[in-house]
Structure 1
Amino acid sequence: MAGRPKIFDEQEAVAKATEVFKDKGYDTASADELLCAMGIGKGSFYLAFKGGKQELYIRSIRQFSDSFYQKFSGSLTASDDQVQFIKEFFLSLADASDCDKERGCYLGNALVQLSEKDHDIKKITAQLLKKLQTLFAETIRNAQKNGQIASTEDPEVIGWHLSNLWNGIHVTRRMESSPEILRSILKMNLKILD
């Protein structure tokens, strides 16, 4: 016997659970809050997520990561000035008062909070950082060829610098919330793109 068929959209349920994880964090998000947000019962939950809350969180991180990367890379590719797009993306992190899809801080928080505790989360966040690094490096390489930026630094290293900046600003935001200070830090780091 195959069991009862699923009567809910798993991707949509995971997206709703993501909102709870963003608001509460992994440790403080209760099973009841997650089930209520997802609109499913315990039986359906454990049928779909045999690993329970941890499996749901990992799927949340993976789904959010894929969505964030697709949106970011699509917007970067479509922009008329890709270097300026990258600068504006980073500078927008200084003013972000919440955790949203465009800025990816949910992933940054997962990296800081749980990547050392959970191998799967570490793997997902490491893959995202590598994909971002590759995308940044490709953009920088093209900008150097076109004379758009003066820097002669290795594009791969600049790509890692930008990935590190994305990662690091999420850590810094946990200690410093002043947009002016965050913007100053970001501007200093982004001078490499001039």
Structure 2
Amino acid sequence: MAGRPKIFDENQAIEKATEVFRNKGYDTASADELLNAMGIGKGSFYLAFKGGKQELYVKSIEQFSESFYKKLSDGIKNSENGIEYIKQFFLSQAYSPDCEKERGCFLGNSLVQLSEKDAQIKKTSVKILKKLHHLFVEVIEKAQENNQIETRENPEILAWHLTNLWNGIHVTRRMESSAEILKNMIELNLRLLN
């Protein structure tokens, strides 16, 4: 016998838990708050997430990052110029309503705050960053082949620069709330893609 069937949509439940984690953070999100948001009882929770809150958090990061990556990847594929799309993506981070100073960006926060606390979260974080890095490498190589950018810097290094910029924005945003300052900082970093 396979046990009791799930009576809830796991992806939807994880999405609701993600909002709690975004608002409260991993450490301060209580089990009751998570269960209430997800709309499930303890029995169903531990049946679906045998590793408890930690497993839920890892799945939350993975699901959130997949959605983030798909949106970015699809945007690049559907654009006429991948480099310009990436530049606009970064510049939009200065004004993004999804990354309020108090909450920061969920994915950025999880990578910065918790990757050193937990081996599974660190492993997940590394996987996410390498996937993002690989996407940037592909776009830069294509732009160099098509003479959309002048720089002949190594695409691997330029992609790490962008990955580092993405991480840095989330850290800087916690200390600097001026969208104009963030925009100027991002523009300075993006000059390497000319």
CA deviations 1:41-84 (Å, max 9, x no partner) are: 11111111111111111110111111211221111111111111
The whole-number CA distance in structure 2 between the counterparts of 1:30 and 1:134 is: 36
**TM-score normalised per structure 2:** 0.94
| Map of 1:12 onto structure 2 | 12
> Which runs of 5 or more structure 1 residues have no equivalent in the other structure?
none
SS at 1:175 equivalent: coil
The whole-number CA distance in structure 2 between the counterparts of 1:10 and 1:51 is: 15
| Map of 1:158 onto structure 2 | 158
Q: For the Cα contact (< 8 Å) 1:65–1:128, is it kept in 2? A: yes
User: Does residue 123 of the first structure (1) align with residue 123 of the second (2)?
Assistant: yes
SS at 1:95 equivalent: coil
| Map of 2:3 onto structure 1 | 3
SS at 2:57 equivalent: helix
| Map of 1:96 onto structure 2 | 96
Q: For the Cα contact (< 8 Å) 1:20–1:29, is it kept in 2? A: yes
Instruction: Compute the displacement of 1:165 (Å).
Output: 0.4
**TM-score normalised per structure 1:** 0.94
The whole-number CA distance in structure 2 between the counterparts of 1:144 and 1:2 is: 53
Which amino acid in 2 is paired with 1:144?
Q
The whole-number CA distance in structure 1 between the counterparts of 2:121 and 2:107 is: 10
Instruction: Compute the displacement of 1:136 (Å).
Output: 0.8
Superposed counterparts of 1:73-92, under 5 Å: 73-92=73-92
The whole-number CA distance in structure 2 between the counterparts of 1:67 and 1:98 is: 14
CA-atom RMSD, angstroms? 1.5
Which amino acid in 1 is paired with 2:171?
V
Superposed counterparts of 1:130-145, under 5 Å: 130-145=130-145
Superposed counterparts of 1:18-57, under 5 Å: 18-57=18-57
Superposed counterparts of 1:159-178, under 5 Å: 159-178=159-178
Instruction: Compute the displacement of 1:115 (Å).
Output: 0.3
Instruction: Compute the displacement of 1:12 (Å).
Output: 1.0
The whole-number CA distance in structure 2 between the counterparts of 1:84 and 1:105 is: 23
Instruction: Compute the displacement of 1:119 (Å).
Output: 1.1
Q: For the Cα contact (< 8 Å) 1:22–1:99, is it kept in 2? A: no
CA deviations 1:81-128 (Å, max 9, x no partner) are: 11110000000111123339xxx9211100111000011111111111
The whole-number CA distance in structure 2 between the counterparts of 1:126 and 1:162 is: 15
SS at 2:83 equivalent: helix
SS at 1:80 equivalent: coil
